[in-house]
Structure 1
């Protein structure tokens, strides 16, 4: 029915990403995750109806020579997106890129005075996206909120919800 609200089943996506996981594909699937201080990036190529999501945990690491990409880290997850697209001869500039998460989950607590992991994740992810030629078209980042996401790989739509009271 035109104009009817879209109902999203956040509790049962086809693929649920845990921290550090990465998914890229072209099937008509819903990919979901739950975020606090972690960051999620969604990439969708509309002409090929393919894309994916990453659940980034930390900004970066000292990658040992010859080590495989570890998608827990922002720079390596974004490089993995780049490689997936490059293998399909798709330019990052042809994709819809969205950024979510990076909440300050320790706001007001002892950890708040030390390190805002969420902010560091956001900055590192933005830097990595820019270095590989991706352009973020929308984002919902920061704050002291959790976020639940669902990416529809058929349409490229991303739905986000935060728990009531946050």
Structure 2
């Protein structure tokens, strides 16, 4: 997972893609991403005034790939550890979560699984979730202001659900002409 740390106000707007995270403490810093079925977790420490956002693709991966950062548990731990190394206290972290849309109707429910995973993870770790926007059928653009702990989203209007088309029935009959 790519880590982006903003400690100085040089580039105050950071975009993260799938499998990435960023943390910042600059007052004007903004971390952004665009989500479909993926989930982004925004964590912040209101006392240290530092926060970060991750963007993960799947709740879990195969056991042989436990190091991959686009899986939920790994993405969460990487973000939490980076925040702690930068002065946040785990017991003060608060969350806001976004994403988990159903982008491919009838094909997969990974968005729903991602949403359930992140809420379960936060509950298990004792981290309060102050806000959430999970599910639905549209992509989201999320902006997080880490020093303030504020987040906003905008639904992306030009996305459409891709319908799974029924597979034509294959016949075992053979016709010769």
Gaps of 5+ in 1: 1-11
1:76 counterpart residue number = 74
**1:50-81: CA deviation from partner (whole Å, max 9, x where unpaired):** 0100011111123559x65x331111111123
| CA shift in 2, pair 1:155/1:89, >3 Å | closer
Larger Rg: 2
**1:14-64: CA deviation from partner (whole Å, max 9, x where unpaired):** 100111111123223100000100001000111111010001111112355
1:30 counterpart residue number = 30
Determine if contact 1:93/1:135 at 8 Å carries over to the other structure. no
SS at structure 2 position matched to 1:37: coil
Give the deviation of 1:88 after TM superposition.
Answer: 5.1
1:4 counterpart residue number = none
2:175 counterpart residue number = none
* TM value normalised by structure 1: 0.78
Name which of structure 1's ranges 136-145 and 125-134 shifts more when overlaid on structure 2: 125-134
Determine if contact 2:44/2:147 at 8 Å carries over to the other structure. no
Q: Which has the higher contact order (CA 8 A, sep 6+)?
A: 1
1:127 counterpart residue number = 120
d(CA) in 2 for partners of 1:128 and 1:165? 31
Which of 149, 156, 164 is residue 149 of structure 2 equivalent to?
A: 156
Gaps of 5+ in 2: 1-10, 160-177
SS at structure 1 position matched to 2:118: helix
| CA shift in 2, pair 1:132/1:121, >3 Å | same
d(CA) in 1 for partners of 2:97 and 2:87? 23
Aligned positions, number = 148
1:19 counterpart residue number = 18
* TM value normalised by structure 2: 0.73
1:140 aligns with 2:133: yes
Give the deviation of 1:136 after TM superposition.
Answer: 1.0
Determine if contact 2:24/2:147 at 8 Å carries over to the other structure. no
